[in-house]
């Protein structure tokens, strides 16, 4: 069992139900953020799963300089603040530097350290010192057991509110692969593990000046991760992924979310059912 993390009254890990992190890859506009948050809240209410709304105020690692990065720190945090208050759902977003930690922690219910920054000691320590829950995404370049060093850095300040997200591992050029053994290895360290469905389907730089993706495999991978025992799943969603300003090829259409969530919830309940034991099989 993993440690229980409390995110604005919503519990992750421990014996709690499957946890959902979802939202558009980047904040494209206030209108899109509000629409998506409202739809996701209603979908998660119907399937009875907790929701943490995610969208980035800045995508600092876009493949090309010419592509949309987001509204920036100040405007982006204002929109996330409004999402939080208008729809009464907790919010999370990426931080990229020590300077962003303080303003972000004053608005966000949880902070997220992107995969490419997962070994940045000063950033990890600054995020930890806020006392906030922090999601650290495992770098595409790391083995699952390397996460132990990240955890030890983080908890050195006394804050144990850390959860880890698997988002695939680099596999040759422009491709990622998921080794599901890694979820069990990382959970053995005692902290919740999230599976990032959509980024695991990314083809980094696969379209030359932008990344490609294989969103048709989203549901099978989500099923597999929950069956292995992930504490939650992370999915980026959009009303029209083909028109999204970031990560469209691997984002899920919001109309498909309820079916996927209902399926993975059923798998989670089966895996965690106390009524089923090896003796009864």
**Interatomic CA distance for residues 66 and 61, integer angstroms:** 12
Overall domain count for the chain: 1
pLDDT of residue 215: 77
**Interatomic CA distance for residues 167 and 139, integer angstroms:** 8
In a domain, residue 90? The reply is: yes
**pLDDT interval class at 206 (50, 70, 90):** low
In a domain, residue 19? The reply is: yes
By C-alpha distance, which of 219, 252, 254 is closest to 239? 254
Q: What share of the chain has pLDDT > 90, as a percent? A: 80
For residue 203, pLDDT over 90 is answered with: no
Strands (E), 102-200: 110-113, 134-137, 162-166, 169-170, 176-177, 193-196
In a domain, residue 121? The reply is: yes
**76: which 2 tokens?**
């982006």
**pLDDT interval class at 211 (50, 70, 90):** low
Q: CA angle, 117 as apex, 115 and 119 as ends, to 5°? A: 105
pLDDT of residue 65: 72
In a domain, residue 280? The reply is: no
**pLDDT interval class at 279 (50, 70, 90):** very low
- Segment 19-62, tens digit of pLDDT: 999 999 999 999 999 999 999 999 999 999 999 999 999 988 76
For residue 281, pLDDT over 70 is answered with: no
Domain of 130, in residue numbers? 5-272
In a domain, residue 281? The reply is: no
Helix axes 30-47 and 257-271, enclosed angle (nearest 10) = 40
Mean pLDDT throughout 180-209? Answer: 88
CATH number (domain holding residue 74): 3.20.20.70
Q: How many CA atoms lie within 13 A of 204 on its CB side?
A: 19
Strands (E), the chain: 5-7, 10-12, 19-23, 51-54, 91-94, 110-113, 134-137, 162-166, 169-170, 176-177, 193-196, 202-203, 212-213, 232-238, 252-253
- Segment 84-137, tens digit of pLDDT: 999 999 999 999 999 999 999 999 999 999 999 999 999 999 999 999 999 999
Where do we find the tokens 């940045």?
120
Higher pLDDT, 274 or 264: 264
In a domain, residue 56? The reply is: yes
In a domain, residue 39? The reply is: yes
For the chain, the average pLDDT equals: 92
Around Cβ 46, how many Cβ atoms within 10 Å?
Answer: 11
pLDDT of residue 62: 60
In a domain, residue 279? The reply is: no
42 Cβ contact list (under 8 Å, min separation 6): none
Mean pLDDT throughout 57-74? Answer: 82
- Segment 144-179, tens digit of pLDDT: 999 999 999 999 999 999 999 999 999 988 899 999
For residue 66, pLDDT over 70 is answered with: no
């Amino acid at each position: 069992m993993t440690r229980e993390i409390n995110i604005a009254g919503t519990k992750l890990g421990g014996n709690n139900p499957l946890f959902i992190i979802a939202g558009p890859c980047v904040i494209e506009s206030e209108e899109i953020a509000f629409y998506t948050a409202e739809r996701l809240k209603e979908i998660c209410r119907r399937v009875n799963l907790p929701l943490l709304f995610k969208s980035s105020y800045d995508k600092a690692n876009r493949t090309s300089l010419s592509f949309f990065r987001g509204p920036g720190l100040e405007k982006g945090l204002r929109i996330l603040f409004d999402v939080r208050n208008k729809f009464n759902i907790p919010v999370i977003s990426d931080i990229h530097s020590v300077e962003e930690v303080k303003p972000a922690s004053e608005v966000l219910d949880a902070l997220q350290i992107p995969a490419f920054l997962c070994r940045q000691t000063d950033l990890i320590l600054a995020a930890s010192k806020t006392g906030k829950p922090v999601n650290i995404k495992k770098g595409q370049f790391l083995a699952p057991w390397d996460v132990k060093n990240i955890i030890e850095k983080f908890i050195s300040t006394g804050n144990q509110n850390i959860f880890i997200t698997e988002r695939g591992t680099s596999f040759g050029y422009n491709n990622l692969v998921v080794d599901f053994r890694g979820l069990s290895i990382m959970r053995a360290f005692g902290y919740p593990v999230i599976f990032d469905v959509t980024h695991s389907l990314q083809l980094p730089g696969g379209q030359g000046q932008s990344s490609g993706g294989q969103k048709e495999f989203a549901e099978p991978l989500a099923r597999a991760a929950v069956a292995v025992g992930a504490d939650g799943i992370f999915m980026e969603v959009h009303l029209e992924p083909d028109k999204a300003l970031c990560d469209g090829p691997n984002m899920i259409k919001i109309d498909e979310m309820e079916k996927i969530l209902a399926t993975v919830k059923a798998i989670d309940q089966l895996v965690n059912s106390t009524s089923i034991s090896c003796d009864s099989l």
